[in-house]
Amino acid sequence: MTAEIITIGDEILIGQIVDSNSAWMAEKLNLAGIKVHQISSVSDDEIHIINALNEAATRADLVLMTGGLGPTKDDITKKTLCKYFDTKLVLHNDILEDINALFKRRGFPILKENSRQAELPENCTIIRNYHGTASGMWFKKDNTIFVSMPGVPQEMKKLMEDGIIPKIKESFELPVIVHRTILTFGFIESELSNLIEDWELGLPKGMKLAYLPSLERLRLRLSISGDNREDLENLIDKEEKKLKEYLGDAIFGYGEQSLQEMVGKILEKENKTLATAESCTGGNIARLITGIPGSSEYFKGAVVAYENSIKEHVLNVSESDLIKFGAVSKKVVEQMALGVKKLMKTDYSIATSGIAGPGGGTEDKPVGTIWIAIAGPDKLISKKYTLGNQREFNIRRTSSVALNKLRKMLIE
């Protein structure tokens, strides 16, 4: 089965935004066993949209569209869809109620433009959007299914996950594909590839391995397709077991899990608490941890100690050590970890201090010099890292390394 993706919007064609929706949708479709043949970005223009739909329909069983569905005047997608599918806009009262309820909840006045979003094509199946005002629309023409979604990524993702993917699975007979994504941290791609070379060469016929690296983790994805899900699962189980012998605790989870989620699970299970003291990461570790629902069960808080006086007066770092060794030092980062642990009365703590860049480096401590400390109930470890000169990379990478160090201490 073949799909195509069409993203609608002049903002893509003038390069004002990067189309990240397509990659997300393509991944989800692939995981469901659907091959994406082409992705096309077209303008907010009736003739252009219709041409793109016609072309895609000759090649694909399923055409997914995003974008061009806002409440304002630059929206011509709905009218074009009515023309293409030979129908007209009608007011859907149930959708109007959804929209009004959403506005009421958010405390916004209900405007004419928004009620217009309850006007939808008569002959489509509406996929309800509970997180925004633009509905999903599901059409059938000849032998092709067409689905239109808003371009706002959060709304599109919710619609896909809750409404569209399940409906696709009902509507098409898809092959059985089993994927397993194994999450690792601590090796870069080439190191890992060397380490597991023998295992990789011995994978059974038809089983594919993909490396998916990012700053937060290195994902390994195994995929195999066939007829029987249980057989495929067993084959993958066997290979995963072998892989564990190579990688040990470098494997931290599966699927879409994150380091912060895994750390949270362990803390919650063991009934332990955590705090962070952050300098170069500027609150990013706290932000990652508190992004997880329920994190208030184990996360007590953080001190972002950007200025040295905060390290001294709030975290109780020794003034003389700050002067003697500098803020980016073993002595200081260890006192930060101990200081926040005592201040917030937690079992564990993370501390970071470094030069995120691009400025602020010295000959002795160039940009990218980072110290991380982890304190536990009866343990204190610290280590220096040398990263690059890109601020965003340094903040994110330091946060991931620190979370992984805490994870390792927790499972010891």
Residues 91-130, interacting with a copy of itself (CB under 8 A): 102, 105-109, 111-114
Q: Is 295 in the site for a copy of itself (CB under 8 A)?
A: yes
26: number of Cβ within 10 Å: 17
Contact status, residue 151 vs residue 21, Cβ threshold 8 Å: yes
- Taking the complex as a whole, the smallest distance from the CB of residue 190 to a copy of itself amounts, in Å, to 4
Residue 42 in contact with a copy of itself, rule: CB under 8 A = yes
Alpha carbon separation from 6 to 13, 92, 174, 309, 379 (Å, rounded)? 13, 26, 22, 54, 54
4-23 residues in contact with a copy of itself (CB under 8 A) are 10-20, 22-23
Binding of a copy of itself by 387 (CB under 8 A): yes
Considering the complex, what minimum distance in angstroms separates the CB of residue 282 from a copy of itself?
Answer: 3
Residue 393 binding a copy of itself, by CB under 8 A: yes
Are residues 182 and 251 in contact, defined by beta-carbon separation less than 8 angstroms? Answer: yes
Evaluate whether 402 touches 350 at the Cβ level (below 8 Å): yes
Closer to a copy of itself by CB, 200 or 268: give it: 200
Nearer to a copy of itself, 109 or 202 (CB): 109
* Residue closer to a copy of itself, measured from CB, 87 or 290: 290
Kindly tell me which of 124 and 134 has the beta carbon lying closer to a copy of itself.
Answer: 134
Sheet holding 251-254, edge to edge: 208-213, 218-226, 176-184, 251-254
Choose which of 47, 90, 101, 210 interacts with a copy of itself (CB under 8 A). Answer: 210
With CB under 8 A as the rule, give the number of residues binding a copy of itself.
113
Question: Is 28 one of the binding residues for a copy of itself (CB under 8 A)?
Answer: yes
Q: Print the binding letters for residues 230-249 with a copy of itself: x by CB under 8 A, - otherwise.
A: --------------------
CB-based contacts of 70, cutoff 8 Å, min separation 6: 134, 150
Among candidate residues 322, 324, 238, 336, the one with its CA nearest the CA of residue 278? 336
Residues 6+ away with beta carbon under 8 Å from 272:
266, 298, 346, 347, 348, 410
DSSP conformation class of 248: G
Stretch that binds a copy of itself, among 27-35, 79-87, 139-147, 163-171 (CB under 8 A): 27-35
